[in-house]
């Protein structure tokens, strides 16, 4: 079994990827999507999204990273896939699952689940373009409004040459609303003859076990569950005890130190609040910290709050 960290736009940026990968348990982490329209993007676009490319395509602790591309132009996607691999990406992932209205209105992400032939052409174009030794995976949902074209889309991905299919077990219309329908992907691996990675609504070890069983999947991709509990992959793969708040606090402070050192100050407070808003669903002290800094938009004020609450770490 492999465990991957999902490509979560606006959430799993390189700051959190580094931190979660450092905690351990992940075989591979994915970038937020790089959006491709009709041109070859400059190197700086890839480096901005994935600074790990400056480290041979690995996080600080050595976990390999894979660039995810989003778009519907087969030739442009292929050109950018070549560039990502040349820069150090460990393979390419193609996004056929993003539910964003903005992305979908431009015929990207989950919108392509209405166009299996386009999916096939995008996948095949990339597979033909990148070196044979470079892995190619594709991430899809069960459908757009419903599951009518589920198999056509899945078979387009496999026929196009992807070596792995990642399934977020909900339709675009279902968004992120529980539950995830893992069982609906049960026949994917056998029918497509490529490994299935199951994704969606995996928050605990019990969820992971149930998802693998119901989907008859080879591996897991963790999304928001990993943001809520950075130790989740280790808990799943190594049967570790559940983490507690004392395990989380040093990660929060390390995250804060890094973003304030490298990110524009006007974004730092909001970035910390965003993470705490997810952590607070699992840890009551995270909710208390969130309340304490909710009205703060000044880095100095947040820093003072952190130091007063956790003096033992300073």
Catalytic positions: 98
Residue among 313, 268, 257 at smallest CA distance from 293: 268
65: β partners: 29
Name 37's Cβ contacts closer than 8 Å, sequence gap at least 6: 71, 73, 76, 106
CA distance 253 to 3: 26
β pairing state of 3-5 and 92-96: unpaired
Q: Which of 240, 200, 210 is nearest to 23 (CA)?
A: 240
251 contacts 279 by C-beta, under 8 angstroms? no
DSSP 237-299: HH-PPPP-HHHHHHHHHHHHHHHHHHS-HHHHHHHHHHHHHHHTTT-HHHHHHHHHHTT---H
Only one residue has tokens 């008859």, namely 216
Confirm if 236 and 204 have CB atoms less than 8 A apart: no
């Amino acid at each position: 079994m492999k465990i991957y960290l999902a490509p979560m736009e606006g959430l799993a940026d390189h700051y959190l990827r580094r931190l979660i990968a450092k905690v351990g348990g992940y075989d591979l982490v994915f970038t937020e999507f790089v959006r491709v329209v009709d041109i070859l993007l400059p190197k700086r676009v890839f480096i901005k999204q994935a600074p790990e490319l400056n480290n041979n395509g690995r996080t600080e602790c050595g976990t390999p990273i894979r660039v995810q591309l989003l778009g519907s132009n087969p030739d442009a996607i292929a050109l950018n896939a070549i560039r990502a691999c040349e820069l150090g990406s460990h393979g390419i992932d193609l996004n056929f699952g993003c539910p964003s209205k903005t992305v979908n209105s431009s015929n990207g992400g989950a919108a392509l689940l209405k166009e299996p032939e386009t999916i096939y052409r995008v996948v095949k174009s990339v597979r033909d373009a990148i070196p044979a030794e470079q892995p190619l995976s594709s991430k899809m949902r069960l459908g757009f409004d419903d599951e009518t074209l589920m198999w056509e889309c899945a078979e387009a991905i496999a026929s196009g040459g992807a070596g792995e299919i990642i399934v977020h077990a909900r339709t675009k219309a279902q968004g992120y609303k529980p539950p995830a329908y893992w069982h609906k992907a049960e026949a994917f691996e056998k029918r497509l003859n490529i490994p299935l990675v199951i994704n969606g609504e995996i928050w605990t070890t019990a969820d992971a076990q149930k998802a693998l069983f119901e989907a008859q999947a080879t591996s897991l991709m963790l999304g928001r569950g990993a943001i809520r509990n950075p130790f989740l992959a280790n808990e799943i793969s190594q049967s570790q005890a559940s983490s507690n708040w004392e395990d989380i606090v040093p990660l929060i402070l390390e995250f804060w130190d890094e973003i304030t050192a490298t990110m524009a100050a006007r974004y730092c407070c909001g970035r910390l609040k965003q993470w705490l808003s997810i952590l607070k669903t699992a840890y009551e002290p995270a909710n208390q910290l969130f309340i304490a800094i909710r009205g703060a938009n000044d880095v100095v004020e947040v820093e003072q709050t952190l130091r007063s609450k956790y003096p033992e770490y300073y």
